[in-house]
Amino acid sequence: MLKLVLGIEYDGSAYCGWQRQSHSPSVQAEVEQALSYVANKPVELVCAGRTDTAVHACEQIAHFETDVERSNRSWLLGANCRLPKNIRILWVHPIALSFHARFSAIARSYRFIIQNSPVPSALFHDKVCWEHCKLDDKVMHEAAQQLVGEHNFNAFRASGCQAKSPVRTIEYLNIVRCGELLYLDIKANAFLHHMVRNLAGSLMSIGAGDHDANWLLQVLKSKDRRQAAKTAPAAGLYFVQAFYPDKFKLQQTERRPLLF
């Protein structure tokens, strides 16, 4: 039995998310179907982090087990030929049987993109979160630094979140501006359901002047989701990368959305 790991880039606009669903098209179903064609038998994938409806990925990591032998090139080109244009497998190679795309990951990173302009983009409306009010990115970044480290993020998780513990450790949370685009980059050991979008919504509220920077810490300490701002739209969110122990020798480079 072989275990293969792959990196996947996708535009999530047309999908119900990563996870296979009976009622809607999903990224997982598309990739499994393409790989199954190459294998000439069913393939089931496990991913590093399941993304929600309309969320994108720069380098989602997934693995599958198979007794079919194909070259890395055959898996890559054969599957990509069967995939729609909004999904691409970036690379494929064998990995140790002890590897698990989800449980072996020691950290993950996301990027949230905000278009801060008077008029939304016609071209990238499903790739960014649009906000017409002028946002103070420096105040947003200052407020965000209060969340770095280990904290209880109960105030920033969805009501339906099934995680056993709300405690997570954020390694960095940075907000930078490039023209009319604001980039929120975050890396943590793990994430709660809607955590990044809920953080983005509250930081945007601070940037718009609705609250001062210290308000974010008050919300965090409250452990009450009702105290935070509304959830930011899914269109601006990108799964960037998953990180693994060196023993697995995954030579990944931190990717960024190509259009931004």
Q: For the segment 119-171, what is each residue's pLDDT rounded down to a tens digit?
A: 999 999 999 999 999 999 999 999 999 999 999 999 999 988 889 999 999 99
Query: How far are the Cα atoms of 72, 164, 183, 187, 248 from residue 55, in angstroms, in the given order?
Result: 28, 24, 15, 17, 27
pLDDT, mean of residues 2-11 = 96
Predicted local distance difference test score (pLDDT) of residue 115: 97
Return the pLDDT at 242: 96
- Catalytic (active site) residue 52: yes
Percent of the residues in the chain that have a pLDDT greater than 70, as a whole number? 96
Whether pLDDT at 253 is above 60: no
User: What percent of the chain stands above pLDDT 90?
Assistant: 93
Average pLDDT in the 70-95 region? Answer: 97
Say what the pLDDT of residue 160 is: 86
Q: What is the pLDDT of residues 181-227, one digit of tens each?
A: 999 999 999 999 999 999 999 999 999 999 999 999 999 999 999 99
Please write the tens of the pLDDT for every residue from 20-60: 998 899 999 999 999 999 999 999 999 999 999 999 999 99
pTM flag (> 0.85): yes
Of 11, 52, 136, 210, which residue is the catalytic one? 52
Average pLDDT over residues 82-107: 97
Q: What is the pLDDT of residue 159?
A: 86
Domains and CATH numbers, the chain: 2-104 (3.30.70.580), 107-239 (3.30.70.660)
Cβ neighbourhood burial of 216 (10 Å; 0-12, 13-18, 19+): buried
pLDDT of residue 249: 84
Q: What is the pLDDT of residue 164?
A: 92
Q: What is the DSSP string of the chain?
A: -EEEEEEEEE-GGGSS-SS--SSS--HHHHHHHHHHHHHTS----EESS---TT-EEEEEEEEEEES----HHHHHHHHHTTS-TTEEEEEEEE--TT--TTTT--EEEEEEEEEESSS--SSSTTTSEEE-SPP-HHHHHHHHGGG-EEEE-GGGS-TT---S--EEEEEEEEEEEETTEEEEEEEES---TTHHHHHHHHHHHHHTTSS-THHHHHHHHHT-GGGS-PPPPGGGEEEEEEE--GGG---------TT-
More confident residue, 183 or 256: 183
